[in-house]
């Protein structure tokens, strides 16, 4: 009697699924609220590159986040104060547009509030600066005064919530930064490097550092 060969490979199925996903395209003049808080130089490289997916390792992480987001959004829909999820918002600012998708919109004590969920390896002790700027941008695009960032720890499903109140000055800084990025993209001038804690995780770290060294030697 022959022994059947066990050859089911779920990882191959998953990798094929991720590889078949359409890469996110970036149109000069249209900027996402989830990205405008990032380094302008990194964004310049992204917008000037051919559309491509970030790689299987990073896409696996994104997919886990999508699964958790879908679960959380379905959970919120059970409550009467829930209004909407994944709504697209955008606003034109002279010659460029900022757009985004917030995770949920709720009504509490007579006012609207935006919620953005972030999956993470470990719950942070403080609200990350780029997440603050992202949700603050949502608040101004939607005309809402209050928002929340909810961190969800992937391994334990522990959560922590940080409230955010609309900050006009911070939003104006975001607009100036985006305006500068737009100008650099149109003129083909690479923005200056912005040193932040996110540099260690940037896909353009080596490219950026090499250019920085050339600039430094001038």
Please report, for the chain, the start and end positions of each structural domain, with discontinuous segments joined by +. 25-189+203-217
Q: Are 67 and 205 in contact (CB under 8 A)?
A: no
% of the chain beyond a pLDDT of 90: 58
Mean pLDDT value across residues 199-212: 81
Position 138 scores a pLDDT of 97
What is the C-alpha radius of gyration for the chain, rounded to an integer number of angstroms? 20
Mean pLDDT value across residues 44-68: 82
Q: Which helix (H) or strand (E) holds 185?
A: helix 168-187
Lowest mean pLDDT among 22-31, 151-160, 196-205: 196-205
49-74: string of b/e by CB count within 10 Å (b at 16+)?
Answer: eeeeeeeeeebeeeeebeebbeebbe
pLDDT in tens, 149-190: 999 999 899 999 999 999 999 999 999 999 999 999 999 999
Structure-model confidence comparison of residues 134 and 15, the more confident one: 134
Q: Are 119 and 64 in contact (CB under 8 A)?
A: yes
Position 88 scores a pLDDT of 93
pLDDT > 60? residue 213:
yes
**Half-sphere CA count of 177, side-chain side, radius 13 A:** 24
Full-model pTM: 0.88
% of the chain beyond a pLDDT of 70: 94
Mean pLDDT value across residues 114-130: 94
- 25-189+203-217: which CATH architecture? Alpha-Beta Complex (3.90)
pLDDT > 90? residue 147:
yes
Position 218 scores a pLDDT of 57
pLDDT > 60? residue 29:
yes
pLDDT > 80? residue 52:
no
- The mean predicted confidence, pLDDT, of the chain is 89
pLDDT in tens, 57-80: 888 888 888 889 899 999 999 999
């Amino acid at each position: 009697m022959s022994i059947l060969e066990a050859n089911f490979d779920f990882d191959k199925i998953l990798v094929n699924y991720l590889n078949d996903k359409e890469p996110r395209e970036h149109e000069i003049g249209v900027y996402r609220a989830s990205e405008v808080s990032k380094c302008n130089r990194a964004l310049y490289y992204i917008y000037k590159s051919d559309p491509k997916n970030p790689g299987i390792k990073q896409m696996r992480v994104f997919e886990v986040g999508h699964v958790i987001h879908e679960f959380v959004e379905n959970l919120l829909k059970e409550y009467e104060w829930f209004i909407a999820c994944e709504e697209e918002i955008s606003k034109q600012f002279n010659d460029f547009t900022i757009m985004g998708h917030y995770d949920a919109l709720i009504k509490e004590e007579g006012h609207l509030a935006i919620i953005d969920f972030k999956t993470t390896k470990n719950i942070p002790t403080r609200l990350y600066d780029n997440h603050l700027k992202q949700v603050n941008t949502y608040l101004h695009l939607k005309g809402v005064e209050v928002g929340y960032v909810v961190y969800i720890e992937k391994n334990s499903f522990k959560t922590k919530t940080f409230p955010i109140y609309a900050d006009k000055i911070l939003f104006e800084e975001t607009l100036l930064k985006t305006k500068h990025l737009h100008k650099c993209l149109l003129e083909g001038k690479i923005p200056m490097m912005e040193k932040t804690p996110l540099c260690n995780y940037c896909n353009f770290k080596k490219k950026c550092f090499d250019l920085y060294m050339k600039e430094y030697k001038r």
